[in-house]
């Protein structure tokens, strides 16, 4: 099994920035994709961004394009989400997700079979 652990959430004012981290541990393999989802109270889980093993392929939700940037450091088995120009509507629990031995990115949560515990991001107005 692979374990994912998020960190970096917190409270920030609108217009501010946060960087989330997701570290993978356990038995990992090359060519696994990773993604970030988020879920606000009373809302369905929403795709944010995904990234391939090489980092060459990324997929962003329209709502965060131009504001959020995903990257990964495979030597550390870690993916990062740099969030700039944060808005109150970005408030949610952010989840890290992965699928092993995969190259195709998807916006569907069902595609990913490993999940972190989530980290809270709150953006005040």
Q: What are phi and psi of 111, to 5 degrees?
A: -70, -25
pLDDT at position 79 is 96
30: pLDDT strictly greater than 80: no
Residue 26 pLDDT grade (very low, low, confident, very high; cuts 50, 70, 90): confident
Structure-token match 């005040």, residue found: 124
pLDDT at position 20 is 98
How many CB atoms are closer than 10 A to CB 26?
Answer: 10
Return contacts of 73-78, CB within 8 angstroms, 24+ apart: 76/23, 77/23, 77/24, 77/25, 77/28, 78/21, 78/22, 78/23, 78/24
Q: What is the pLDDT of residues 33-71, one digit of tens each?
A: 999 999 999 999 999 999 999 899 999 999 999 999 999
29: pLDDT strictly greater than 80: no
Q: What is the pLDDT of residues 66-90, one digit of tens each?
A: 999 999 998 999 999 999 999 999 9
pLDDT at position 27 is 79
Q: What is the pLDDT of residues 99-112, one digit of tens each?
A: 998 989 999 999 99
pLDDT at position 67 is 98
Contacts of 111 (CB under 8 A, 6+ apart): 99, 102
């Amino acid at each position: 099994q692979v374990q994912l652990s998020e960190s970096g959430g917190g409270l920030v004012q609108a217009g501010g920035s946060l960087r989330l981290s997701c570290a993978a541990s356990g038995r990992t393999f090359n060519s696994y994709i990773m993604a970030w989802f988020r879920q606000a109270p009373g809302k369905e889980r929403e795709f944010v961004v995904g990234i391939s093993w090489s980092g060459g392929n990324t997929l962003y939700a329209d709502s965060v394009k131009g504001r959020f940037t995903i990257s990964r450091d495979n030597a550390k088995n870690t993916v990062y989400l740099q969030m700039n120009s944060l808005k109150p509507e970005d408030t949610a629990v952010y989840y890290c997700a992965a699928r092993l031995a995969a190259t195709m990115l998807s916006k569907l949560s069902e595609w990913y079979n490993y999940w972190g515990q989530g980290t809270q991001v709150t953006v005040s107005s």
